[in-house]
Structure 1
Amino acid sequence: MPNILAARIDNRLIHGQVGMTWVNSLQANLILVANDEVATNTVQQSLMDMVVPEGIQTRYFTIEKTAAVIHKASPSQKILLVCKTPQDVLRLTELGLKLDEWIVGNMHFAEGKTQITPTVSVDDDDREVLRKISSHGIKLTIKGVPTDKGQELINLL
């Protein structure tokens, strides 16, 4: 099993909170972003790399590539795995990457979504997908920063 220190759903992917706070708290040395769009967008990758501390590696893989190669990660790679949406997480799970827990960070409000916490908004599709993820025995915990107590997302749906 790869050395995944934490896995996070965050529609902003890598930003200051992820690039600094989470990386430092976990002592991660690799941020792996699993998202089909970002995997091919070098401009977005460059912008995200700007907030990552010196010495921390980043990888931007599609969902399928992540599922195919993550099991080959070196034990020395201390990984913070980040997905943009619950839909990405469900695809990863269905492709064989089953983790005990996903931390839910930012799922921003948009038209058709209902705000369930200050940082998490969901629509009917999100609810269905999050329930499917949970049905795999995966805990979904809302946490902005590592020191937050955390809230079980499934209880808020």
Structure 2
Amino acid sequence: MSINLTRIDERLIHGQVAYSWSVAYPCDEIVVIDDQAAQDDMQKMLLEMAVPEGKGFKLFTVTEGSEYFAKDNGLKSFLVIKDPAVILALVKAGIHFDSINIGGMYFKEGKKEITKTVYLDERDVAVFKELADVGVKLDVRTAPGDKSLELSTVI
């Protein structure tokens, strides 16, 4: 398994993810793990259309993603998810992450502003603390060139 970059972004694949991040962290494929999107053919088609030419695309449920990353396929993957709980589920399934990038978790009722693009509720904070406790670095950046903020220092 070779995950080059893991990013939490509620928009999943969009211009900044598809181009800025996949250039800064070269990859062979963009992998989305999202139970809801994996069951929606229209969402799958839209995500696939956003993937840059020459890059592969996969969309998995959490269970399928755990199985996929448990094996080494020789590809450099850029993993994109919406919810930090997905990362925690993968960690509990034995998938290792040195760090994850948190970029787009937007305002909703009950969420508190951490940065202009990261809003967290109590559940999110608990998940991130659990990830930090197992040694995962929590890198908050909107774009690859932005200054990094270690999330565990502010939650």
**Contact kept in structure 1, 2:28 and 2:76, CA below 8 Å:** yes
Report the alpha carbon displacement of residue 74 of structure 1 after superposing the two structures with TM: 2.2
Residue 134 and residue 61 in structure 1: after superposition, are their counterparts in 2 closer, same or farther (change >3 A)?
same
Counterpart check, 1:131 vs 2:129: yes
Q: Secondary structure at the match of 1:33?
A: strand
| Distance across 2 between alignment mates of 1:82 and 1:154 | 20
| Distance across 2 between alignment mates of 1:151 and 1:27 | 22
Q: Secondary structure at the match of 1:91?
A: helix
Q: CA RMSD in A?
A: 1.1
**Contact kept in structure 1, 2:27 and 2:76, CA below 8 Å:** yes
Unaligned runs of 5+ in 2: none
Identity across the alignment (%): 36
**Contact kept in structure 1, 2:104 and 2:117, CA below 8 Å:** yes
| Distance across 1 between alignment mates of 2:137 and 2:96 | 11
Give the alignment's TM-score, normalised by structure 2. Answer: 0.95
In structure 2, what is the equivalent of residue 47 of structure 1?
46
In structure 1, what is the equivalent of residue 23 of structure 2?
24
1:110 to 108, 111, 123: 108
Written as runs of structure 1 = structure 2, the 5 A alignment for 1:16-95 is: 16-75=15-74, 77-95=75-93
**Contact kept in structure 1, 2:70 and 2:94, CA below 8 Å:** no
In structure 2, what is the equivalent of residue 152 of structure 1?
150
Give the AA of the match of 2:55.
Answer: I
Report the alpha carbon displacement of residue 73 of structure 1 after superposing the two structures with TM: 3.7
Report the alpha carbon displacement of residue 113 of structure 1 after superposing the two structures with TM: 0.5
Unaligned runs of 5+ in 1: none
| Distance across 2 between alignment mates of 1:25 and 1:107 | 21
Query: For this pair of structures, how many residues does the alignment match?
Result: 155
